[in-house]
A and B are shown apart, each in its own frame.
Chain A
């Protein structure tokens, strides 16, 4: 199982903090993104856009990055830490 975590506004849109996906022993960020879009149509246009980044096991990933069974993926909207 792959765990997918949602943060900030994406969590609100998904209506959940995290999901689990079973995509076999190995897949890619691109394939997982399509599956997330199917489960959460409201996220479809945001995933794969320039603003939302994806991490795999806490490292930034690209659409071609490999995801293995048991990995933790996070969808990261634009950061806004610090103060203005």
Chain B
């Protein structure tokens, strides 16, 4: 993967992503990166006791991308990390597939871990993305985010 631009560090896309490629791309941003924390969210089979067959994510274009960009900028500013990538997939996602990736790169591990944890919580709280679960009992939009 080539050097990342600010736009390409925040993406909402249907296609899968490579965790390794995203980490390697972010590492190229600075030779001062000493610690990288990664959060990878994946589709799991069991939710509140129900078997999930597949997931479907929908987003509000423009607003969702803007929120992710704001989260990235605030994470860099507040946690003094060097850079961050945030990628979220939409469309149909099968069990075990990648959903969301956050890569936080700092000089040290402490700020990278803190920024990564804050960013995924903030994403779930503020970004207009919705999940629909398909179970044996039908389809349901998930309306709570533990």
Please list the residues of chain A having a beta carbon within 8 angstroms of any beta carbon in chain B.
5, 7-9, 12, 51, 55, 58, 74, 76-84
Contacts and interface: CB of A to CB of B under 8 A. Distances in A.
Contacts of A55: 60, 63, 128
B54 interface: no
B82 interface: no
B74 interface: no
B128 A79 contact: yes
A77 B140 CA distance: 13
B88 interface: yes
Contacts of B142: 80
16 contacts: A5-B60, A7-B58, A55-B128, A74-B128, A76-B128, A77-B143, A79-B124, A80-B141, A80-B142, A80-B143, A81-B59, A81-B124, A81-B131, A82-B124, A83-B100, A84-B146
A49 B125 CA distance: 17
B18 interface: no
A76 B124 contact: no
Interface stretch (B2-10, B22-30, B38-46): B38-46
Contact of A79 (B42, B99, B130): B130
Given A9-B143, A55-B63, A84 B130 contact: no
A51 B130 CA distance: 14
Given A12-B141, A74-B128, A83-B100, 7 more contacts: A7-B58, A7-B128, A9-B141, A80-B124, A80-B141, A81-B145, A84-B146
A79 B125 contact: yes
Contacts of A83: 41-44, 99-100
